[in-house]
Structure 1
Amino acid sequence: MTEDFTEQKARAAGWFRQLRDEIVTAFEMLEHNHATGPLSDAVPGCFEVKETRRASDDGFDTGGGLMSVLRGGCVFEKVGVNVSEVYGTLGEVAQRAMAARGVPGMAEDPRFWASGISLVAHMQNPHCPAVHMNTRMFWTPDAWWFGGGSDLNPCIEYAEDTRHFHSTLETHLDPHGADLYPRFKEWADEYFHIPHRHRARGVGGIFMDDRNSGDWEADFALTQDIGRAFLPAFLPLVEKRRVQNWSEAEKEVQLIHRGLYAEYNLVYDRGTKFGLATGHDADAVLMSLPPLAKWI
């Protein structure tokens, strides 16, 4: 049996909320500072914030979170930054899935607690890459672990942007062990693969799951640095590309690429499946879907 982990849960949930606040502030500053380039005359976007709740059939409090979405801005066509803290008892489908993954004690005791941040940004300018990031902590009476990562999804790839994104992630991971970046990069390449398309979703990044080294403090510090890496990895790319003009043909490429993103998130993504299976707010779970996409 694990400890109750009350303090650790509070620290993890607090960190995810702090990271959410920092990212929302940075993204709104991007919107309001977009004085040159395409859509510079448009009204800067602001996040709409909505409280979310996890569905419960028994009337007990089972947690929820904040869904923050910015739509139709100068820089972001749609970006969502969600945080959640949910708990209670897993439904039968989610319990079976966790037991099948080998979570200790899950077949006998379906109690759980989970908290995390999830972010997906779809950009106005097709030269700006879409991006995904999430980090989370999961607890059961018999286990705890961390997971998450970030990956870049350009529809028009620039090699120097890909190098910057990956090198920033590596810099933040190296203090925790020189072996982690190559391991987590390979994991991301495997995880963010679309089998029915025989291709990757984007240009990769890092991914980890079920992280429990036995040292909660060390694993929490690693998870925090995965979150801290996000803004320095992503913002310089947006700053550089948001002022570029684009053609209708390039916008078409972007919309078709978004179709791949939607396919992956609806068919394969573990977080989407877990969120829907555990009764979390469906709009928050499906926040990652682009506002517009096309299929050939």
Structure 2
Amino acid sequence: MTEDLIPQKTRAAAWFRDLRDQIVTAFEGLEASHTCGPLSDRAPGTFELTETSRSSDDGSDAGGGLMSVMRGGRVFEKVGVNISTVYGTLAPRAQAAMAARKGIPGMSDDPRFWASGISLVAHLQNPHAPAVHMNTRMFWTPHAWWFGGGSDLNPCLEYAEDTAHFHATQQAHLDPHGAGHYPKLKAWADEYFYIPHRNRARGVGGIFMDDHSTGDWEADFALTQDIGRAFLPAYIPLVEKRRATDWSDADKDTQLVHRGLYAEYNLVYDRGTKFGLETGHDANAVLMSLPPLAKWI
């Protein structure tokens, strides 16, 4: 049995909220500063905020979160930045999945859980500007606790220098925690963000970890924070560089087809999507990651 970690849970949830605030401010700044190039004549996009809640079988409080979504902006066609803190007891199906995947005994005897995190997906107006995904989270049960998450870049029109910048920035944030972290998390992302039925990756990779628990909560939380801190400096310069590039109908078509791959992955393979739906969280928040438009050949 693990201790309740109440102070640590409070700190983690507060960090995810602070990271959300930083990202929302930065993204609205991109909208406001886009004053030349395609769609710059539009009003800048802003986030709409919606409180979300998790349902429980007995009607008791089971937590919730905040869904922040921007649609139809100058730069972002759709972007969501969600935070949540949910708790309660895992249903039998989720207990079995947790026990099988993580090797945690005793879930059926004490199926309590607590989870908090941030999840972000951005789909850009300009096909030359890359889509991106990021999430970090903490999960607790009476039997174990761990951190997870990462970020990965999903361009439909790849620029090698953009890919290099994204990865180099992540490595710079991970290396202070040990030289082995970046290559391990990069390889994990390459494996995780792969679409088996298409025999291809969904993007150009990034970093990813799950089940991360060394037993040193402070060290593991610090690593998780730096995964989050890496996101804005890794991503914002790429959008600033590409947002004013003119695009063709063929470019837009390529973008819509690529978004189809993204939708397939999230609906078929993504663990976060499955967990959110199985534990009764707000379906709109869980499926926020889906693009506004996509195309299949």
Same fold flag (TM > 0.5): yes
Measured on the aligned residues, the alpha-carbon RMSD in Å equals 0.6
Report the counterpart of residue 94 of structure 1 in structure 2: 94
Q: In 1, Cα distance between the equivalents of 2:229 and 2:269?
A: 26
User: Is the CA contact 1:64–1:280 (under 8 Å) kept in the aligned structure 2?
Assistant: yes
Superposition pairs for residues 211-222 of structure 1, below 5 Å? 211-222=212-223
- Mapped partners of 1:137, 1:54: distance in 2: 17
Q: Take 2:86 and 2:290, find their aligned partners in 1: how far apart are those partners?
A: 22
> Where in structure 2 are the equivalents of 1:3-152 lying within 5 Å?
3-101=3-101, 102-152=103-153
Task: Tell me which residue corresponds to 1:285.
Answer: 286
Instruction: Please tell me whether the aligned partners of residues 71 and 78 of structure 1 are also in contact (alpha carbons under 8 angstroms).
Output: yes
Other-structure match for 1:276: 277
Report deviation, 1:169.
0.3
2:295 alignment partner in structure 1: 294
**Partners in 2 of 1:133 and 1:61 — Cα distance?**
27
Q: What is the distance in 1 between the residues matched to 2:142 and 2:209?
A: 22
Distance 2:61 2:11 in 1: 20
1:203-246, Cα deviation, whole Å (9 max, x unpaired): 00000000000100000000000000000000000000001000
Contact 2:133–2:151 at 8 Å: present in 1 too? yes
2:168 corresponds to: 167
1:57-108 per-residue CA deviation (whole Å, 9 max, x = no partner) reads: 2121100000000000000000000000000001121111101111243232
Moved more, 95-104 or 283-292: 95-104
- Which residue of structure 2 aligns with residue 177 of structure 1? 178
User: Equivalents in 2 of 1:164, 1:186: separation in Å?
Assistant: 17
Gaps of 5+ in 1: none
Aligned to 1:57, what secondary structure does the other structure show?
coil
Identity of aligned residues (%): 79
Query: Is the contact made by 2:92 and 2:108 (CA closer than 8 Å) also made in structure 1?
Result: no
**Matches of 1:231 and 1:103 in 2, distance apart?**
35
**Would the aligned equivalents of 2:2 and 2:142 in 1 still touch at CA under 8 Å?**
yes
**Superposition deviation, residue 43 in structure 1:** 1.2
CA distance in 1 between counterparts of 2:170 and 2:185 reads 10
CA distance in 2, matches of 1:96, 1:148: 22
Paired residues of 1:129 and 1:156 also in contact (CA < 8 A): yes
The CA deviation string for residues 107-163 of structure 1, in whole angstroms up to 9 with x for no partner, is 321100000000000000000000000000000011100000000000000000000
Query: How many angstroms apart in 2 are the aligned matches of 1:197 and 1:275?
Result: 25
**Across the two proteins, how many residue pairs are aligned to each other?**
296
What residue identity is the alignment partner of 2:13? Answer: A
The separation in 2 between residues aligned to 1:271 and 1:149, in whole angstroms, is 12
Conserved 8 A contact 2:146-2:212 = yes
State the AA in 2 paired with 1:176. Answer: H
Question: Could you report, residue by residue, the CA deviation over 1:166-215 in whole angstroms, capped at 9, with x for unpaired residues?
Answer: 00000000000100100000000000000000000000000000000010
Contact 1:17 1:83 survives alignment (8 Å): yes
1:10-36 Cα deviation digits (max 9, x unpaired): 000000000000000000011011101
- What amino acid is aligned across from residue 27 of structure 2 in structure 1? F
User: 1:104–1:143: 8 Å Cα contact kept in structure 2?
Assistant: no
Q: Deviations over 1:227-283 (max 9, x none)?
A: 000000000000000010000000000000000000000000000000000000000
Letter in 1 for 2:72: G
Q: Aligned runs of 1:241-280 on 2, under 5 Å?
A: 241-280=242-281
TM-score, length-scaled by structure 1: 0.99
Q: Distance in 2 between matches of 1:104 and 1:164?
A: 42
